Amino acid sequence: MLVPAQYLNDGAVHELMVRFAAARIAAGHDPLTSWFPYLGLGSPQFLHYQGTPAILTGLAGLVVGPDAAFRWSLYLLWCFWPVAIYASARLLRLDRWAAAMAAVAAPLLHSVPGVGYEQHAYVWLGYGVWTQLWGSWALPFAWALTWRALADKRFLAPAAALVALTTAFHFETGYLAYLAIVVLPFLIRRELAARLARAAALLAASLLASAWVVVPLLRYARWAGINQALTATPLVNGYGARQTLGWLVTGRLLDYGHLPVVTLFAAIGLAVTALAWRRAGPGRALVALFCAALVLSFGHTTFGGLIAVVPGHADLFFRRFLMGAQLAAIYLAGLGAAAAVQRARLLAARLDGLSWAPGAVAVAAVAALLAPVWRYYDVYDAVNAARIHAQQAAQRAARPELTALATALRQHGPGRVFAGTPTNGGQYITVGHVPVYAYLASMDVDTVGFTLRTASLMTQPEYRFAASNLGDYALFGIRYVILPAVHPPPPGHPAKSLILRGSRFWVIEVPGNSYIRVADTVGSVTADRASLGARTARYLRSALPGAGWYLGVGYAGRPPAAPTLLPGARPTGAPGTVVAEHPDLADGRASAVVRLRRQAVVVLAVSYDPGWSATVDGHLAPVRMLAPALAGVAVPAGLHHVAFRYAGFGGYPPLLALAVADLLAVAVITRRRKAGTAHRSSQGASVVPGPDASRPGEPALSPPMPHGGAAGDRASAIS
């Protein structure tokens, strides 16, 4: 993880976000309110996507460098993941053996989907879901503190803080944090009204503490594109009950590719918890969370339209909620392994002269079970390391050509770069294992082709980009095309446009293309975020983009702009020219001097967002959405200066102040009054496993601590 090799998965995007955050902070700007220009024709990425990990890592990057900070964060978060499991298990009041066994089980997980709390989700050869790794550290503590807060109000403030932090780190993990608040109050009948009251207070405090994340998302939800390319797939809809339960029963949800060790001990932990259900310990909470997360992961595939009861369901990838079931299973596996150890100790105590035998058998059994798992990961890690070193060697060999590429792009002026897409030739233009369209992310180059990576409204039109349609190049602001060296330039690209010829690839300039274009509008189309890609597909396939003709978009109930060309009008020639332009999209700005023969639109080839404003000769002018989802402004005939400026959501400071005030107020209100009173209150509603209660389903009033003495005193002190 620490080896500097370009990522071929989502890690490339996360590393790019860290560099962007570091650059914006160094320049004195807030990444949360900045325009992220590099993917999907730009978007307010840090608003629509969880940007907190990138901002925190970017701050560290100011000292050690953003790329190094990213690699070290990935390495440390994964390597110390068992520590988070152990600490949160103790906070949940599992005993030391159960917490330690859960920590041992944590890094062993591997599932068929491969995107849960498992090594494959994070390493170079895997998926690179780095922000989920941040959420995986916050969620265990959010669950533990929520369980404690339902019995002791003094935990309300830290629980709310962890729920909010989980949400800020990873949105879908945040759903699992809120899921605990909804599910856990009902697990103990005693003092149910009080538990519900604490849950309501925790829910309110958590919502206020995470308002700085949630409010911007809700306010700008209509301007976030829906990934229509995946909406009909299990990646979004979930795998359904039948498929998921099949994986669970066969061990492929927790132990895919090796012996079902975690599955076995999780089943034992489930059985132990079921037998001790009357004791109302934390095992009851783990079973409930395991079942709730598993059911939620079934998604639309199982529940159909009923899934609409889940807030924000249209933007969720329901299969990702399997990570909640995996987390609960880790703790259950710890309980199961601890129960097995306890059984061996009891057996040893009964054997005169052979007290060593059960321990020896237990050690041998554990070694026999884990040896194949360790061998599996040894092989996997060796393959991962070999691929990384091969990538490094390929990058060293390609460095002169890549340096020449960067120089050529700087010298020939601003414009986007196209090097194919995952399904449109991009797989044939690579540096090592990494496609060039992804490698360009490491060079902070604005590209078209690294598709479906942002929530910009242009993400679906970009997915439909046709390399054979020359009109699309101007529409998307593509000035440079990278081709494999073995392929000749495509038709329509004269030899004089070849600006770099190397052994691996050629770079061709498309003359006249840039970020800003003068054009006519000739009609309109209506759409919303769910239909935009489909409603504009016909326009993309037509000859209109090549002719410089756009359609206005009536979006989400807003009327489209009036066309600049009336029906039947057939003017000759272009409506005007761009005399000079000065794009600086990384700073959210672009300007141009244009000379128009007639009224027309000046189009900025960025994804439309309401944060864009425009001035014509210093006077504000409305920015309109133009098909497929670009920003444009109507300009009269004559010589004019047109300037575009992006301003992000401006409510972050008051919302962050609200979060701090909320948590401080809850902490003050629920602070300890008197030591004796607080101790009695905590003991009276304790959720620690103990002997059977006087009534079924209720906790013991004075449960003994598992280790007595100092350990018992220490546990009481935090109750």
For the stretch 229-272, pLDDT in tens is 898 899 999 999 999 999 999 999 999 998 899 999 999 999 99
Q: Are strands 612-616 and 619-621 parallel, antiparallel or unpaired?
A: antiparallel
pLDDT at 710 over 50: no
Compute the average pLDDT of residues 455-484: 92
Compute the average pLDDT of residues 432-453: 92
Percent of residues, the chain, with pLDDT higher than 70:
90
Burial class (CB in 10 A: 0-12, 13-18, 19+), 229: middle
The dihedral over CA atoms of 311, 316, 317, 320, expressed in degrees to the nearest 10, equals -60
Q: Residues 105-152: pLDDT tens digits?
A: 999 999 999 999 999 999 999 999 999 999 999 999 999 999 999 999
Residue 172 lies in a domain: no
Residue 119 lies in a domain: no
What is the structure's pLDDT at 3?
Answer: 81
Q: Residues 492-501: pLDDT tens digits?
A: 555 568 888 8
What is the structure's pLDDT at 238?
Answer: 96
Burial 18-52 (b: 16+ CB within 10 A, else e): bbbbbbbbeeeebbbbbbbbbbbbbbbbbbbbbbb
Closest CA to 571 of 595, 548, 552: 548
What is the structure's pLDDT at 492?
Answer: 59
Q: Model pTM?
A: 0.90
Residue 154 lies in a domain: no
Residue 309 lies in a domain: no
Residue 244 lies in a domain: no
Residue 42 lies in a domain: no
Return the structure tokens found at 199.
């849950």
Whether the Cβ atoms of residue 235 and residue 317 lie closer than 8 Å to each other? yes
What is the structure's pLDDT at 686?
Answer: 40
Residue 581 lies in a domain: yes
What is the structure's pLDDT at 587?
Answer: 96
What is the structure's pLDDT at 307?
Answer: 94
Confidence grade of residue 698 (pLDDT, cut at 50, 70, 90): very low
Pick the more confident residue, 697 or 719.
697
List the beta bridge partners of residue 195. none
Tell me the CB-side half-sphere exposure of residue 639, using CA atoms within 13 A. Answer: 2
The secondary element (H helix, E strand) that includes residue 550 is strand 549-555
Our measurement of the distance from residue 589's CA atom to the centroid of its chain's CA atoms, rounded to an integer in Å, reads 27
Compute the average pLDDT of residues 627-639: 97
Closest CA to 601 of 665, 521, 546, 658: 521
Which residues are within 8 A (CB) of 126 and not within 5 positions of it... i.e. 6 or more apart?
A: 9, 114, 119, 120
Least confident of 511-520, 633-642, 675-684: 675-684
Residue 662 lies in a domain: no
Q: Are strands 434-435 and 430-431 parallel, antiparallel or unpaired?
A: antiparallel
Pick the more confident residue, 494 or 60.
60
Domain count across the chain = 1
643 φ, ψ (degrees, to nearest 5): -130, 135
Cα–Cα dist 485/563, whole Å: 43
pLDDT at 488 over 70: no
Whether the Cβ atoms of residue 202 and residue 181 lie closer than 8 Å to each other? yes
What is the structure's pLDDT at 490?
Answer: 61
Cα–Cα dist 476/513, whole Å: 9
Full domain range(s) for residue 640: 516-646
Closest CA to 644 of 581, 596, 713, 698: 581
CA angle 538, 542, 544 (to 5 degrees): 120
Return the structure tokens found at 136.
């995986």
